[in-house]
Amino acid sequence: MLEHTDGKLTRIGVFYDGGYFAAVSDYYRYCHQRKARVSISGLHEFLKHKVAEVESVEERYCQIVDAHYFRGRFSADESNQKGKLLDERKFDDILMKAGVITHYLPRAPQGEKGIDVWFALEAFELAIYKRFTVLVLVACDGDYLPLIRKLNTLGTRVMLLSWDFDETDPSGRRHSTRTSQLLLDEVTYPVPMHTLIDDRAHRNDTLIENLFISVPQRTPTPPPLPPSDHGPAAVESADAEPRRGTIHNLVPDRGFGFITDDSAPGNQWFFHRSDLVGMELSDLRPGDPVEFRLGEGEKGPKAVDVRRP
């Protein structure tokens, strides 16, 4: 039964650990069967509904009054050299349109430094001054445990959006992402997003579907295989003839990218930095012409022997 609110808002503050959110979004884009990125606006709609449900209030009284995104970031020159500047600006536009305030610190060569401290201080200070009813954390690191305990002393209820997933990187190494059990035990409302998303009972749930950005799907067509005495599982390591293509996009932090096939523009082929010949991933930019052959990877056809034409 819904609680009588007397017209009072349930004030929601949302705080993103940007590095973690990017890893989650990359997982759903490149590793999960959905092959789509997480939508900020869709996530905010889901949050308002979820908070209304757990707080037993009408959804119209649940509003996100503050949202903040924290991440270490390379300088503009470094991002430009890595071919990431345009993607970063596009994502900034998405955050801006969703009303999310960005907080960036310079990224050191050894990784992000100090951003989690800034995250915690900002979240605690704003919880005091803006009197959030529910503060939502998009994070997984146990380092945020002191923040949660401090928020509990204020009477601010904490909702934790968590994703647990396994992925295999292009070099075949297995990686696991797990949310700290200490965080799950301390927050008021733990929400296991991976379970909700994969639950077949929610397959037609509009809120769950809208968590993802809808993109046209292209299914690469593998090259025809020659007859083999070893059965259908046998494949060639690579095409005999090289193909021409252009770099579609690069993911330097994770060591891979995609090539648009000039002979079949609807097809995009995955490649790993270990497939490059005579160059490094940092030498490439989106739009660069390349030659490659088609080989077989763990998950199907991929570009190998990638080189300058």
Whether residues 169 and 91 share a domain: the answer is yes
pLDDT at res. 170: 55
Mean pLDDT of 14-38: 92
Residue finishing a domain among 164, 186, 209: 209
**Of 29-33, 34-38, 253-257, where does the model show the most confidence?**
34-38
Domain count, the chain: 2
Q: Is the pTM of this model over 0.85?
A: no
CA 227 to chain centre: 41
pLDDT at res. 233: 33
Whether residues 53 and 168 share a domain: the answer is yes
Mean pLDDT of 16-39: 92
Distance, CA of 141 to CA of 16 (rounded, Å): 12
Q: Is the pLDDT of residue 216 over 90?
A: no
Whether residues 267 and 153 share a domain: the answer is no
Least confident range from 51-60, 212-221, 234-243: namely 234-243
- Encode pLDDT of 97-156 as tens digits: 999 999 999 886 666 678 999 999 999 999 999 999 999 999 999 999 999 999 999 999
Whether residues 196 and 257 share a domain: the answer is no
Among residues of the chain, what percentage have pLDDT more than 90?
Answer: 52
- Give the CATH number of the domain where residue 22 resides: 3.40.50.1010
Give residues with Cβ within 8 angstroms of 233, minimum separation 6.
none
Whether residues 138 and 202 share a domain: the answer is yes
Whether residues 158 and 278 share a domain: the answer is no
Whether residues 79 and 154 share a domain: the answer is yes
Whether residues 60 and 119 share a domain: the answer is yes
Residue 233 domain-assigned (yes or no)? no
Give the helix/strand (H/E) hosting 30: helix 18-30
Say how many C-beta atoms besides its own lie within 10 A of residue 90's C-beta. 9
- Encode pLDDT of 265-300 as tens digits: 667 888 988 889 888 888 898 888 999 988 877 667
Whether residues 95 and 202 share a domain: the answer is yes
- Give the CATH number of the domain where residue 263 resides: 2.40.50.140
Distance, CA of 125 to CA of 295 (rounded, Å): 54
Domain that includes residue 301, residue range:
243-307
pLDDT at res. 63: 97
Query: Tokens at residue 192, please?
Result: 């296991």
The candidate with the shortest Cα–Cα distance to 45, out of 98, 87, 124, is 98
Whether residues 87 and 173 share a domain: the answer is yes
